[in-house]
A and B are shown apart, each in its own frame.
Chain A
Amino acid sequence: MELILKGVDNNQIRKKTKQVVGVREVSFAVEEGESFVIMGLSGSGKSTLIRCINHLIKPTSGEIIIDGEDITKMSNQRLMQVRRSKMSMVFQKFALIPNRTILENVTFGLEVQDVPKNQRYIKARQAIEMVGLQEWENYYPHNLSGGMQQRVGIARALATDPDILLMDEPFSALDPLIRQEMQDELLALQEKLRKTIIFITHDLDEALKIGDRIALMRDGVIVQMGQPEDILLSPASDYVARFVENINRSKALTASAVMVKPRTVVYPKDGPMTALRVMERFGISSLFVVDRAGHLQGYITAEDAFAAAEKGIKQLDGFIQKDMPVTEPEVILSELLEVMAHTKVPIAVVSDDNLLKGVLVRGSVIAGMAGIKGENYE
């Protein structure tokens, strides 16, 4: 402890005392209704920090003030009350009780508070409904997928209606796709509930998405704290900069990673009417034209198709334009951004033998850069 006050560095302290410094000199304030993200790599002290907040780990010094009360100076009784009423925790590995049904798991917090049984069930069902698991309340945790299990974890945390949600890498154990889904849902829930959320993650994308403010930790110290843009645009140190570098997905992603399925008409089989119908259905203003084997022939705009249809022309001949931007699947996204900015039609992604593989539309490119996948942007 003295060594920390004297400013001795963590490694030296470890060598001297065989004790590891978990978190040191961390100081921050979280506003009511704010989503505060603490991020850092493993071993950076973020999990220790969140456990200090509800006193699962007792800090050796310092204060943790919740609504004007210092947790570290509370009697055990008062601490228990605060834990019951003011905050609840969501765990990385879900921490569901395996021999209890989903409903019974969600009632846990209320049970601990000795809430009468029927009231317990009413509140638990409301919480289960919020996370959309109504049909699963009588199943056991092992019947559920990871994503669903964590929904139960969230429902359990919400059931006691706490002011503060402590979320310790809640989505880290989930598949990327499910993770994004859960992030979206958490944001939607937060929109409604306006809880104070303290969210731990090692994933910068997640931090940027969830956090109103982000604190980046390294070796037990906060290296930068601020709004997502601040961290992205003005990294405080090389370490942060290196972290943020990884986020520039336009440098890492290829065209094939973000392209979407093209909507096409086949030439010479289809006429202007078919093209118009397809455009109308998908709400787009141009269509790529391919031959029967899938080779790219060009594109046709809505105006041209409309004009042709009005004149009663049955063939697309003469209306197909060839001046569309074309690229190959392996091309890095950042090289295409400029083209993207100027073109009116999507960029066609074609293989060596001119087969149309996909198209790049603005929505899909932006989504890809933001780390969102699996959705259709047309």
Chain B
Amino acid sequence: MNSIGMIFGFDIPRIPLAIWTDNAIEYLQTNYRDTTQAISDFMGIAIKGFQELLIIIPPSLLIVIIALIAWRIANKKIAIFSIIGLLFIENIGLWNVTMQTLAMVLAAVIMCIIIGVPIGILSAKNEAAHRIIAPILDFMQTLPAFVYLLPAIPFFGLGVVPAVITTLIFAMPPIIRLTDLGLKQVPVELLELGHSFGATFFQMLFKIEMPLAKPVILAGINQCIMLSLSMVVIAAMIGAKGLGGVVWTAIQTLNMGMGFEAGIAIVILAMILDRITHNIGKTEEEKA
């Protein structure tokens, strides 16, 4: 008899949540193995191709490209910071692993946008959908990241694919939430404007709502990138390699110097990504 059961005078059987979960995953695994395998293969090729691409480009050229992007989107200060930071990463010999991480982050973020923005639109437009989506998002965001990693393995094996997929799940909520929020913040008068001029659903969406929600959605993408980066590092535990892999090795071998170097590289990458995406779509005066 367990302690709460004793109060009521009869035994409450333990709810076998773990077994249910196992069973559900096993069921999915045996029945949807082919599907997940196909997704896994396709994503694997795409992400690895992307990683290869970033590694093949000579560091000097890539640094110039990133600096130019930083300069165009943000400002000169951030461009200079990008150059110095990336040169430093190259110098400490972490270039290739950094590029692996960057490729995974970008892959995850692109998929987050492709999937997350439409879901956000759905959530903003349909109250029923919103009521279903909101608790799922809470669940996705608060469930400890490590717990995601486990089921990803049976579905997608070890390596970059499960890493990117868990990252996807972890990093997508802010995009959905902020797309939803951005669309709901569009002033009523502008909605009335669209309707009164006879705009269709999609004209409303693309001519009025999305442009007005853009800054909020971009903030969501910025958050998504930051979350992706942190998750991609954690995902090293299931074989994602990259900077996270270096940190993971450092932890296992208690190599503090190595861990610190990888950590600094992560911080630099995070700052560059954050500063650049923070300034997307801003006018000259607003840039910071």
Contacts and interface: CB of A to CB of B under 8 A. Distances in A.
B147 to A, nearest CB: 41
Contacts of B3: none
A89 interface: yes
A79 B195 CA distance: 10
Contacts of B212: 97-99
A14 to B, nearest CB: 23
Contacts of B200: 80, 112
A160 interface: yes
A84 B194 CA distance: 10
Interface string A86-126: 01110111110111100000001101110000000000000
Interface in B172-223: 187, 189-190, 192-200, 203, 207-208, 211-212, 214
A166 interface: yes
B196 A89 contact: yes
Nearest to A110: B197
A172 B63 CA distance: 55
- Most-contacted residue by chain A among B196, B203, B208, B212 (CB, 10 A): B196
A4 B63 CA distance: 72
Which range holds the interface residue count of chain A?
A: 20 to 34
Contact of B198 (A83, A92, A97): A83
Interface residues of B, number: 18
A134 interface: no
B123 to A, nearest CB: 23
A87 B211 CA distance: 25
Given A97-B211, A97-B212, A108-B207, A113 B198 contact: yes
A54 B190 contact: no
A81 interface: yes
A233 interface: no
Given A108-B207, A111-B207, A95 B198 contact: no
A113 B194 CA distance: 12
Contacts of B199: 112
A5 interface: no
Interface string A50-81: 01001010000000000000000000000111
Contact of B195 (A83, A85, A113, A160): A83
B193 A91 contact: yes
A25 to B, nearest CB: 25
B204 to A, nearest CB: 9
A84 B198 contact: yes
A48 to B, nearest CB: 12
Nearest to B208: A97
Contacts of A51: 192
A113 B200 CA distance: 10
Contacts of A113: 198
A91 B189 contact: yes
Contacts of B207: 97, 108, 111-112
Contact of A95 (B190, B211, B214): B190
Contacts of A87: 196
B192 A56 contact: yes
B192 A89 contact: yes
Contacts of A160: 197
Contacts of A100: 211
Nearest to A105: B193
Nearest to B214: A99
Given A80-B200, A108-B207, A112-B203, A95 B187 contact: yes
Contacts of A95: 187, 189-190, 192-193
- Most-contacted residue by chain A among B187, B192, B193, B208 (CB, 10 A): B193
B190 A83 contact: no
A206 B22 CA distance: 73
A81 B208 contact: no
Contacts of B208: 97
B277 to A, nearest CB: 19
A157 B90 CA distance: 59
A54 to B, nearest CB: 5
A112 B207 CA distance: 9
- Most-contacted residue by chain B among A89, A95, A111 (CB, 10 A): A95
B190 A97 contact: yes
Contacts of A91: 189, 192-193
A88 to B, nearest CB: 6
A112 B189 contact: no
Contacts of A89: 192-193, 196-197
A93 B203 contact: no
Contact of B197 (A92, A94, A98, A112): A112
A95 B198 CA distance: 15
B203 A83 contact: no
A82 B196 CA distance: 10
Contacts of B192: 51, 56, 89, 91, 95
Nearest to B189: A95
B188 to A, nearest CB: 9
15 contacts: A51-B192, A54-B196, A56-B192, A79-B198, A80-B198, A81-B198, A83-B197, A91-B192, A93-B187, A95-B190, A97-B207, A97-B208, A97-B211, A99-B211, A99-B212
Interface of B: 187, 189-190, 192-200, 203, 207-208, 211-212, 214
| 3 closest cross-chain pairs (CB), A and B | A83-B198, A84-B198, A95-B189
Interface of A: 51, 54, 56, 79-85, 87-89, 91-95, 97-100, 108-109, 111-113, 160, 166
Given A54-B196, A112-B194, A112-B207, 15 more contacts: A54-B195, A80-B200, A85-B198, A91-B189, A92-B189, A93-B187, A95-B190, A95-B193, A97-B207, A98-B212, A99-B211, A109-B197, A111-B207, A112-B203, A160-B197
